[in-house]
């Protein structure tokens, strides 16, 4: 069957989508070029904010229209976080969906497709058990096409229960994969031409997998092992929780040559009162100390972060403290969101919800400041050299683009064909655009 996997949301979803594609290819299905050309459509979904969940339902409506206008038979699968968190909503609002697989049942995609193709009775096939161990044991062992910069999930789920967050419900409790498995996977990816690997986890610093010596390894120990991998040119990890950062990670940034000097460290708010109500388990002062400790070991470390504005009860004063925090840290890049109330989370029942108008105002102010900082950060590179891993062709003919070690998008003219996708080259930065750098390869 010709299939397409549409991935929403975070990098862990992209990883899961790739693994489902591997399973379908292994079972002799073929990739479709577009949605219209596909007969099996897999929506691998995200439910972190209400908008993300609703995107699925509007896409399902569009697919329904496509199905109604066609004589062909389609199979529709909904997988991932919405499937896990809102399976009943999916069944009710889109009863034409054939397969529903939760976040830790995605390894079943090929067998469920087979079942759905041959089943006699109508009704959806639903599987939403939260068992990460069995997922990783049973994922396809074959890896098909990969890009030069790829991801490996080393840890899934979260035990923190931040009061706004659905992840402990949609991905379950923390689970860490054994080092032997993730290293084996990395070696396979390297054979496929992968040059950069990002180790993924909802709370990657809480990694506690079985090590090669049979003992429990933490993240810094695992990073050290990845630092030894032949052929791996660059290493990253995401997402870090400030509470779980330790000196070992800071030392890893000093010692491991391939570990990129950029770090995503979400703070969410600059107000201790709000952080307390979010159940983040650290204060602004602890966050700043952590940044300082990391900078002492690796002065050029570039920090990115996540922010939520309009969390229940956030006052103008609280918001002002977030602005002050941003001014103190100076982020190279950041994501910011309006608080979105999610079912089954503690914050959803807090009674001092903030109006959308105020959320929008605060978001605008915060994003203006974060954009200004990103711009400043990027401008400071004009005339300097960065190391770029080229990942794809640029928008214009003869352009090639990639990422610097600081995770900036960098584009160069490559009309003489001096560099190829997969190369790391020194680039002199000549100018900056709002969200990227332009430069020329240093010969
Ligand atoms: N509303 C808004 N943003 C959220 N995030 C997580 N849950 C919510 C929510 N309910 C944001 C956090 C997190 C990022 C992945 O998404 O900033 O770090
Ligand atoms: Fe959600 Fe908090 Fe866990 Fe991150 S640490 S996944 S924000 S509960």
- pLDDT, averaged per 10 consecutive residues of the chain (443 residues), comes to 97 97 97 93 97 96 92 94 96 96 97 91 88 92 94 97 97 97 97 97 97 98 98 98 96 98 98 98 98 97 98 98 98 98 97 97 98 97 98 93 98 92 97 94 91
Model pLDDT, residue 338: 98
Model pLDDT, residue 141: 87
One domain for residues 139 and 201: yes
Residue 388 phi, psi dihedral angles, 5° rounding: -110, 130
Ligand 1 pocket, mutate which of 304, 337, 340, 354 (most atoms under 8 A from CB): 337
One domain for residues 63 and 166: no
Q: Ligand 2 atom closest to Cα of 158?
A: 3
For residues 42 and 33, give the distance between their C-alpha atoms in angstroms, rounded to a whole number. 14
Q: Which ligand is nearest to the CA of 204?
A: 2
On the 0-12 / 13-18 / 19+ scale of CB atoms within 10 A, 425 is: buried
Q: Assign residue 426 the CATH number of its domain.
A: 2.40.50.140
One domain for residues 199 and 345: yes
Rounded to 10°, the helix 316-329/284-297 angle is: 10
For residues 45 and 78, give the distance between their C-alpha atoms in angstroms, rounded to a whole number. 7
Model pLDDT, residue 119: 83
Model pLDDT, residue 426: 97
Structure tokens at 91: 């069944």
0.85 surpassed by pTM:
yes
Q: Which pLDDT tens digit goes with each residue over 164-186? A: 999 999 999 999 999 999 999 99
Model pLDDT, residue 136: 95
CA of 229 relative to ligand 1 center, distance in Å = 34
Q: Ligand 2 atom closest to Cα of 161?
A: 8
User: What is the residue with the minimal CA distance to atom 7 of ligand 1?
Assistant: 165
Do residues 141 and 188 make contact, with C-beta atoms less than 8 angstroms apart?
no
One domain for residues 371 and 392: no
One domain for residues 87 and 158: no
Show which of 342, 357, 379 is a domain's final residue.
379
Cβ 238 under 6 angstroms from ligand 2: no
Show which of 99, 130, 161 is a domain's final residue.
130
CA of 278 relative to ligand 2 center, distance in Å = 10
Show which of 103, 130, 157 is a domain's final residue.
130
Model pLDDT, residue 123: 84
Give 268's DSSP letter: B
One domain for residues 147 and 266: yes
Q: Assign residue 140 the CATH number of its domain.
A: 3.80.30.20
Cβ 158 under 6 angstroms from ligand 2: yes
One domain for residues 116 and 141: no
Model pLDDT, residue 13: 97
For residues 207 and 246, give the distance between their C-alpha atoms in angstroms, rounded to a whole number. 12
Q: Which pLDDT tens digit goes with each residue over 193-245? A: 999 999 999 999 999 999 999 999 999 999 999 999 999 999 999 999 999 99
Cα separation values, 143 from 24, 110, 115, 183, 188, Å: 11, 15, 23, 14, 8
Cβ 168 under 6 angstroms from ligand 2: yes
First-to-final CA distance of the chain: 48
Model pLDDT, residue 36: 86
Give residues (CB < 6 A) around ligand 1.
Answer: 48-49, 164-165, 266, 268, 306, 308, 337, 339-340, 342
CA of 335 relative to ligand 1 center, distance in Å = 10
Sign of CA dihedral 17, 49, 176, 422: positive
One domain for residues 228 and 120: no
Residues of the domain holding 233: 134-379
One domain for residues 160 and 209: yes
Give the count of domains, the chain. Answer: 3
One domain for residues 275 and 292: yes
One domain for residues 228 and 334: yes
One domain for residues 274 and 223: yes
């Amino acid at each position: 069957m010709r299939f397409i996997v549409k991935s929403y949301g975070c990098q862990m979803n992209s990883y899961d989508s790739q693994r489902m594609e591997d399973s379908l290819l292994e079972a002799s299905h073929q990739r479709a070029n577009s949605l219209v050309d596909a007969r099996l459509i897999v929506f691998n979904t995200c439910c972190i904010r209400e908008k993300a969940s609703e995107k699925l339902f509007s896409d399902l409506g569009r697919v329904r229209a496509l199905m109604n206008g066609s004589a062909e038979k389609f199979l529709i699968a909904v997988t991932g976080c919405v499937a896990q968190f809102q399976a009943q909503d999916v069944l009710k609002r889109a009863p034409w969906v054939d397969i529903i697989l939760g976040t830790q049942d995605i390894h079943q995609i090929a067998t469920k497709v087979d079942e759905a193709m041959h089943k006699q009775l109508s009704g959806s096939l639903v599987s939403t058990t939260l068992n990460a161990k069995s997922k990783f044991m049973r994922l396809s062992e074959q890896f098909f096409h990969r890009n030069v910069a790829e991801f490996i999930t080393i840890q899934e789920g979260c035990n923190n229960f931040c009061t706004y967050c659905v992840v402990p419900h949609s991905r379950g409790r923390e689970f860490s994969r054994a080092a032997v498995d993730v290293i084996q996977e990395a070696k396979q990816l390297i054979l496929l031409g992968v040059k950069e690997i990002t180790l993924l986890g909802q709370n990657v610093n809480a990694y506690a997998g079985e090590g090669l010596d049979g003992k429990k390894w933490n993240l810094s120990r695992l990073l050290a092992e990845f630092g030894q991998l032949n052929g791996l040119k660059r290493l990253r990890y995401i997402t870090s929780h400030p509470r779980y950062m330790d000196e070992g990670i800071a030392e890893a940034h000093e010692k491991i040559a391939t570990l990129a000097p950029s770090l995503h460290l979400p703070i969410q708010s600059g107000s201790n009162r709000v952080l307390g109500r979010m159940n983040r388990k650290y204060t602004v002062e602890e966050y700043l100390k952590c940044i300082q400790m990391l900078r002492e070991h690796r002065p050029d470390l570039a920090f990115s972060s996540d922010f939520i504005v309009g969390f229940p009860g956030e006052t103008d004063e609280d918001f002002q403290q977030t602005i002050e925090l941003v001014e103190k840290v100076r982020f190279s890049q950041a994501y910011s969101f309006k608080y979105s109330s999610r079912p089954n989370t503690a914050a959803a029942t807090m009674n001092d919800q903030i109006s959308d108008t105020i959320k929008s105002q605060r978001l605008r102010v915060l994003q203006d400041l974060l954009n200004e900082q990103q711009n400043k950060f990027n401008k400071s590179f004009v005339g300097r050299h960065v190391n770029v891993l080229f990942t794809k062709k640029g928008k214009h003919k003869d352009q090639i683009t990639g990422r610097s070690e600081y995770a900036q998008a960098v584009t160069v003219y490559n009309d003489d064909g001096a560099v190829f996708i997969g190369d790391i080259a020194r680039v002199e930065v000549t100018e900056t655009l709002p969200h990227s750098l332009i430069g020329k390869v240093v010969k």
